[in-house]
Structure 1
Amino acid sequence: MKMLMLFAALCGVAMAVPFDSAAYMGESAPMGLVDELTTLGFTKLVEFIEIAGLKETLNTGGPFTVFAPTNEAFAMLGTHYPKNMTLLVNVLKSHVIAGKVMSTMIKDNMMSPTLMEGVPMRINVVTWWQTTTIGANGAEITLFDKMAKNGVIHGIEKVIRPIPLGNMMEAMEMIPGLSFTLELIKMAGLDSTLAGEGPFTIFAPQNIAWMKVPEKNITALKANKTLLAEILSYHVAPGAFYSTVIRPGTLITTVQGQKVLFNPKMCKKEGILYKFMNEAEVTLADQSVNNGVMWLMDDVFAKPMVF
């Protein structure tokens, strides 16, 4: 009788204590996003999250999807970390979207608003032979679907900077070195198109690129709006293209109808990979804006190339 009473008491205790399958299997239950980031080794990102006062929000709120730059990605910035607290908060928020986005849900040119108001996250998927590369605002995703109790983490290989703000025309207005290209775009009547929904990729010649063109040719372009629009349209492609996602040898069809060639070249002496479109060197690539991507060029595409 005493044995039966003891057995019943033990059963009552067992029923009162919830079954912890994670503990039974020797696994730890998922933690909050920030704690999981620490466990995964994203310690520099966690440091900035704590400095910015976002730990509580990202650890307990949500669900969120965090695109987490590695420690090496932050090291690539050198000393160019956001010093202004408002800017730091905005940069971090632009790496987080509301909701849980698993890799199986991702589609090419998928757009999701980030926690930074007015700044979207554009995700691109490129399949090359038997490999697929996925990028978030130009940062290649190298780690997928690490779960937390309030969201999911994807690791990326660079910090997304500058923050993608405004459309292509608004962004060019803020870059002094593109003032002449901007003037010609307006002259050709393409400004409303490039301020539109897109997405577009522009291979924008800097002012120094136009200085290499003979003055008589510039004069002729300004006098012939049809030709000017054709030349400029050869510098714009429908779609969002990032050098971090596309492969060497990729041909991109422009609005003008002809193609441009992504043509990176390795300098063996320096050990540096230089990016080229056709034979024009890229001085800055992968600058995200709300309706596409900007590449800055040190040359004007002289004429459509035949491939």
Structure 2
Amino acid sequence: MRILLLLIILGSFGAVSCTKSHPASAAIQDSLYGERASFVIQDNFNFSMYSTGITTTGYADTLAGAGPFTVLAPVNTGWAGTQWSIYFIGYPLGTWSSTFLNDIFNYSILRGRYSFDSLPLGDNQPIPTYGGFHVWVSKYVSGTDTVVTVNGAPLTGVDIPTSNGLIQAVSLLLNPEETHSITDWVKNFPDLTMFAVALTRVGADSLLTKGGPWTVLAPNNTAFVQAAWMGLGISTVDSLLTADTAVLGPLVRGHIIPGSRRFLNDFDRWLAAPGDTVMVTALNGEQVRYFQEQAGWGILPDHFLGGSGQGTPGGIPSANSNQVEDKYRYQADIPSENGVLHVIDQVLQP
């Protein structure tokens, strides 16, 4: 009996010893662990800037998890090819605010496996992000090609497989969707203070808080200051607060396009050739003109003219390294839950 008891005890110690010397971690059990999104991104030079970003923010660990995830990973040229590039000239990732970085990379991850190749044709189809907002995916035929865009940015690679989901290679770094309404975004963007005052003055702020979708062309503060030549008394905050709403109302509504969410690519794809014009109807009933201007050194993109067809066309302002951090962002294709906003550098003349 004592011998039997001793054998049982020794057997128990042996079992425990065996368990300790051969840990069965998830990494060992999962033979495809090294093919998860985090590692596929790290191993692809075209995603090296995105890889640095997810490492800095901790999302590399997230994307090494079980998932499934769909990752919207901008290729390296997508960071340098827009006004975001100003960040990388004098402000490396390590100097960005953690909140701002988190917004960018949180927005680039979709919770679930979404095959964009399998999506039906359609404009700005909503897909929920890891953080609870949406990206807007369009799929359309252009000539003999099928084009897929996210928030207007064309994909350069579709449905790149990983063991825990898919990667979509995006041609541009996306502005994150951070607000539920365009009004919220306007009122929190320092360079749109005067436009926010104008919206409130004519009651359009409440309109853009709900409903939609809306496409809004928002003149920045400099645009209002430069609009003194119009003689409408809108070049200071004080003058906006006392402006005749019968005049200010149509002007403000001429910057709001109802019933559609139009990223710049949505305008571009309807241009047959440089020099053509796309006409859309604004909330004041007048036509807003969108065109790309042909210059001696090339094409000047993304120009808007108001209903009169007069005045200086409004374009997308350039980033400035002296501006506050939030203004480094690319100032077009700014999404919200009820529309999209483009900052422009001129007040459109109705």
Counterparts of 2:243 and 2:59, CA distance in 1:
55
Is contact 1:126–1:245 with CA below 8 Å preserved after alignment?
A: no
The match for 1:46 is 51
Using the TM superposition, name which of 94-103 and 214-223 deviates more. Answer: 214-223
Please, what is the CA RMSD of the aligned residues?
Answer: 2.9
The match for 1:268 is 296
Q: For 1:62-104, what per-residue CA distance to the aligned partner results, in whole angstroms no more than 9, with x for missing partners?
A: 1111111002223442234543344333321110111111122
Counterparts of 1:298 and 1:126, CA distance in 2:
31
Q: If each structure's helix is expressed as a fraction of its own residues, which one has the higher value?
A: 2
Instruction: Identify which of 160, 163, 179 aligns with 1:149.
Output: 163
Q: 1:218 to 1:85 in 2, by over 3 A?
A: closer
Counterparts of 2:163 and 2:145, CA distance in 1:
31
Provide the secondary structure at the position in 1 that maps to 2:177.
coil
The match for 2:248 is 228
Q: 1:260 to 1:149 in 2, by over 3 A?
A: same
Provide the secondary structure at the position in 1 that maps to 2:316.
strand
Deviation (angstroms), 1:214: 4.4
The match for 1:281 is 315
Unaligned runs of 5+ in 1: 1-27
Q: For 1:109-134, what per-residue CA distance to the aligned partner results, in whole angstroms no more than 9, with x for missing partners?
A: 222232234x3222234555665543
Counterparts of 1:201 and 1:140, CA distance in 2:
19
Using the TM superposition, name which of 119-128 and 47-56 deviates more. Answer: 119-128
Counterparts of 2:171 and 2:48, CA distance in 1:
14
Q: 1:292 to 1:213 in 2, by over 3 A?
A: same
Counterparts of 2:218 and 2:140, CA distance in 1:
23
Instruction: Identify which of 186, 192, 213 aligns with 2:200.
Output: 186
TM-score by structure 2 length?
0.68
The match for 1:112 is 127
Q: 1:187 to 1:90 in 2, by over 3 A?
A: closer
Counterparts of 2:212 and 2:43, CA distance in 1:
39
The match for 1:72 is 77
Q: 1:173 to 1:235 in 2, by over 3 A?
A: same
Q: Does residue 32 in structure 1 map to residue 32 in structure 2?
A: no
The match for 2:13 is none
Instruction: Identify which of 227, 239, 264 aligns with 1:243.
Output: 264
Q: What's the % identity of the aligned pairs?
A: 22
Counterparts of 2:193 and 2:98, CA distance in 1:
30
Is contact 1:100–1:151 with CA below 8 Å preserved after alignment?
A: yes
Unaligned runs of 5+ in 2: 1-31, 272-276, 306-312, 318-330
